[in-house]
Amino acid sequence: MAKKKATVFVCQNCGTESPKYLGKCPSCGSWNQMVEEKVPDKTDSRSRISMSGKASKAEQITDITIEREERVKTDLVEFNRVLGGGVVPGSLVLIGGDPGIGKSTLLLQVSAQLNNNGGKVLYVSGEESTSQIKMRAERLELRGSDFYLYAETELTAIQETIEEIKPDYVVIDSIQTMHHAGIDSAAGSVSQVRESTSTLMQIAKMNDIAIFLVGHVTKEGNIAGPRMLEHMVDTVLYFEGERHHTFRILRAVKNRFGSTNEIGIFEMKNGGLVEVLNPSQLFLEERLSGATGSAVVAAMEGTRPILVEIQSLISPTVFGNAKRTASGLDYSRVSLIMAVLEKRAGLLLQNQDAYLKAAGGVKLDEPAIDLSIAISIASSYKEKETRPTDCFIGEIGLTGEIRRVSKIDQRVNEAAKIGFKRVFIPKNNMDGWDFPDNIEIVGCTTLADGIRRAFS
């Protein structure tokens, strides 16, 4: 009988295993990611444990009773919304983000809230000492009983502590620092992350404990370690933001218990993270009235409309090919709109440099922002400002038509609420709903029509 190999090569990017070293991973195609790791001991019974923590068997669909998962709401409305309504007991939630973006701060605040509402919390940190966490907690003016801090990276010890304390919520900061004694590889390697996560998953499901994992993000923007981590957990949230801006966006990218379109907006202040309940105001705060190249759109972020300013700077190309950049907007969408503007609205843009941006660092990706992009380009090109109280909503088709968008009523109501006086919408969106009476509605059929009326 062939001797069983004790090690295996594992792709650090996607978790693919191979008995021999390969330069290029056959599965995800990345180079030089294969690292030799010990084969994990597969003899444990872990794989037989079901999601509900009980040994599972096949059942008739008619015999299965639906258990409504109860959600625990924190006082952070934005956090609840991103989770799909609150924390689900027994769920495993991964929070990814750049170092220093505020993941530990967020989870410390969430822990304190859950604690205030009567939950027992264990905060495990592999990155900071308990006194460091206490210092931060004091800065955040958080205190409570039944709130345990624990500086540890060894999983067996953590498991024992969980069994002893019996918390309702556990925070693991971060999964990359955790170490499973049964595995020989270094903390942060694929096998370690996989074993640690599956152990934690088991703990969560068996004891109905909600566990939050912090995951660091690599330069490419993925959670460091394998993609498979994202497949294992119930919910994946990303905490994003620009270092130079104080506000942060919490975005759901996977959620077994809710929608993935939701975002929560926070501002990092001296006293910790503060929720931004009126993001439109925040994004429009620094807007310069009377500037050219600016147009506001009511974009939908999840279930909520947010007003964002689209800025353009169009200037003649001095040398060589025209430069085009887009930040916070999809580059190919911008190119397409510029082509339509050229062909259908007579703007000569081919020898113009174009710099576009969604102000405030948000990322917008939906068709309804097309019209505002076009208007802001036209405004900069013509050097004519739009009215500061105008708002533009609509998708642009290749023949220059303005196409219908979803949730028009919510978008227009948000614009009216913030004080906009006039809103340009697709003509086809005019029927079937009640306009708010403090805003003028301009229905547009074509891009050329929209531009003419916006600048007349």
CB 453, min distance to ligand TYD, A: 45
Does 100 belong to an annotated binding site? yes
| Min CB(130)–ligand TYD separation in Å | 15
To Mg ion, the closest distance from the beta carbon of 221 in angstroms equals: 18
- Give the one entry of Mg ion, ligand TYD, none that residue 101 binds, where binding means its C-beta sits below a cut-off of 5 to 8 angstroms depending on kind: ligand TYD
Among 25, 72, 203, 268, the residue binding ligand TYD under the rule CB under 6 A is 268
Residue with Cβ nearer ligand TYD (97 or 264)? 97
From 54, 139, 343, 384, residue interacting with ligand TYD (rule: CB under 6 A): 139
Q: Does 177 bind Mg ion (CB under 5 A)?
A: no
From 191, 452, 245, 426, select the one nearest 346 (Cα to Cα).
452
Identify the residue among 74, 104, 176, 312 touching Mg ion (CB under 5 A). Answer: 104
Using CB under 6 A, which of 65, 270, 289, 456 touches ligand TYD?
270
Q: Specify the residue, 121 or 300, whose C-beta has the smaller distance to ligand TYD.
A: 121
The answer to whether 294 is a known ligand-binding residue is: no
Name which of Mg ion, ligand TYD, none residue 99 binds, using a CB cut-off of 5 to 8 Å depending on partner kind: ligand TYD
- Determine if the peptide bond prior to 91 is cis (ω within 30°): no
**β-strand partners of 274:** 267
Nearer to ligand TYD, 105 or 192 (CB): 105
Question: Residue 199: which of ligand TYD, Mg ion, none does it interact with, CB under 5 to 8 A by kind?
Answer: none
- Minimum CB distance to ligand TYD, residue 138 (Å): 10
Distance CA 402, CA 368 (A): 10
CB of 79 to ligand TYD, least distance (A): 14
Nearer to ligand TYD (CB atom), residue 138 or residue 208: 138
400 is in an annotated binding site: no
Draw the binding track, 88-107, toward ligand TYD (x: CB under 6 A; -: no contact): ---------x-xxxxxxx--
Q: How many residues bind Mg ion (CB under 5 A)?
A: 1
Q: How far is the CB of 108 from ligand TYD (least distance, A)?
A: 7
CB under 5 to 8 A by kind: which of Mg ion, ligand TYD, none does 102 bind?
Answer: ligand TYD
**Closest distance of CB 123 from ligand TYD, Å:** 12
By rule CB under 6 A, what string of x and - marks binding of each residue 56-95 to ligand TYD? ----------------------------------------
- Using alpha carbons, select from 397, 195, 369 the residue that is nearest to residue 298: 369
Asked if residues 294 and 250 have their Cβ atoms less than 8 Å apart, the reply is: no
Please, which residue, 104 or 197, has the CB nearer to Mg ion? 104
Residues paired with residue 299 on neighbouring β-strands, in sequence order:
306
Q: What are the tokens at 411? A: 């978008």
Q: Least CB distance from residue 377 to Mg ion, whole Å?
A: 41
Name the residue with tokens 């924390």. 87
Q: Exposed, middle or buried: residue 9 (CB in 10 Å: 0-12, 13-18, 19+)?
A: middle
Q: What is the closest distance, in whole angstroms, from the C-beta atom of residue 440 to ligand TYD in the complex?
A: 42
Q: Tokens standing for 111?
A: 């822990």
316 marked as binding residue? no
102 labeled part of a ligand binding site? yes
* Contact between 274 and 267 (Cβ < 8 Å): yes
| 18 assigned to a ligand binding site | no
Of 56-64, 96-104, 155-163, 292-300, the segment contacting Mg ion by CB under 5 A is: 96-104
Q: Would the annotation count 394 as a binding residue? A: no
Q: Which of 405, 385, 380 is nearest to 394 (CA)?
A: 405
Q: How far apart (Å, rounded) are the C-alpha atoms in residues 262 and 250? A: 8
Q: Is 258 in the site for ligand TYD (CB under 6 A)?
A: no
* Binding of ligand TYD by 136 (CB under 6 A): yes
Give CA 138 to chain center in angstroms. Answer: 28
Q: How far apart are CA 306 and CA 159, in angstroms?
A: 43
Question: Does the annotation flag 302 for ligand binding?
Answer: no
CA–CA gap between residue 87 and residue 69 (Å, rounded): 10
How far apart, in whole angstroms, are the C-alpha atoms of residue 181 and residue 192? 9
Residues annotated within the binding site for ATP are 97-104
Residues annotated within the binding site are 97-104
Which residues are near Mg ion by CB under 5 A?
104
Which residues are near ligand TYD by CB under 6 A?
97, 99-105, 136, 139-140, 268, 270-272
